[in-house]
Amino acid sequence: MRLRERIAADELLTIHGAWDALTARMAAQAGAEAVYMSGSCVSSSVHGGPDVGLTTMTEMARRARQMADAIDVPLVADGDTGYGSALNVRRTVREYERAGVAAIQLEDQRFPKKCGHFEGKRVVDAPEFAAKVEAATEARESDEFLVIARTDALATHGIAEAISRARLYREAGADVLFVEAPTDEDQMRTITSAVEGPHLANMAAKGKTPPLSVEELAAVGYDVAIYPSDAFKAALRTIRTVYETVVAEGSRTSVLDEMVEWDERDDITRLDEWTALEERADERERAYAARYADLDADLD
């Protein structure tokens, strides 16, 4: 699927969040048309802390490569602030694109950045980020690699400033616009009607933006919706429950139903494919062993 064409289609595209190769594959196996590498989820999985700018570009690019290699659908990856100046953005884009990423999301927060639904965010001047957006579009090797420009100015400066920034980032070459964390449907409609799209909505679970349905988002004017942390938050609750239960009860009996079966895990990890590859390698080894014996016999 070509991501640019899919976004331009009439039907809204939903992109589902993951944080490593295994969860990316599970999202794709569930039918996701595209997968989103959530910076917040990756950040927490890397260092066990909050999304406050602690992960590096190399850590994120490495994770993106692992995820892209595990799936056959497009990977949209969070690139945070680009990890520095416009020069850093150029390198980040190159690293992400060569890792197999289909689109990078960049944001106009000051470093250290924070999750878009946290309090206390700060943004850089709009011209500074517009220059980063243009640098990103110049650095890509293929026009099929998309640049998603996110502004967090709605929370810091209000809706008029957020709209002005979105317009400027569009002029700078952004392929998709992402105004973070509108707090009601009227704000969402105002944004999408004031700026030419495509527009992306962040359906962060239990975040500041109302949880509209796919049909409602499309009616409001959105073309793409990401669901970055649904699976991550559900996994955290299950993991905590299992650990606490087994520690407290000294038995896993009451939480066995929370676990997948062996064959389910094997299906997720494609054990059959790897077993077939192993058997093929064994067959080749036997064939080469016979051939080697023939060659050795020719020397006698």
pLDDT value at residue 112:
75
Query: Would you say residue 164 has pLDDT above 90?
Result: yes
Query: Would you say residue 59 has pLDDT above 80?
Result: yes
Task: Provide the whole-model pTM.
Answer: 0.93
- Count other C-beta atoms under 10 Å from residue 246's C-beta: 14
pLDDT tens, residue by residue, 116-160: 567 768 999 999 999 999 999 999 999 999 999 999 999 999 999
299 pLDDT band (50/70/90 cuts)? low
pLDDT value at residue 113:
79
Sign of CA dihedral 116, 122, 123, 124: negative
Give the integer Cα–Cα distance in Å for 262 and 264: 5
Q: Nearest Cα to 55, choosing from 38, 67, 43? A: 43
pLDDT tens, residue by residue, 188-197: 999 999 999 8
pLDDT value at residue 86:
96
Ramachandran angles phi, psi of 287, nearest 5° = -65, -40
- Count other C-beta atoms under 10 Å from residue 124's C-beta: 17
Please name each of the domains of the chain with its CATH number: 3-228 (3.20.20.60), 237-298 (no CATH)
Query: Would you say residue 69 has pLDDT above 60?
Result: yes
Scanning the chain, the segments in alpha helix (DSSP H) are 3-8, 21-29, 39-47, 57-70, 86-98, 126-139, 153-157, 159-171, 185-194, 214-220, 230-249, 262-268, 271-298
pLDDT value at residue 121:
82
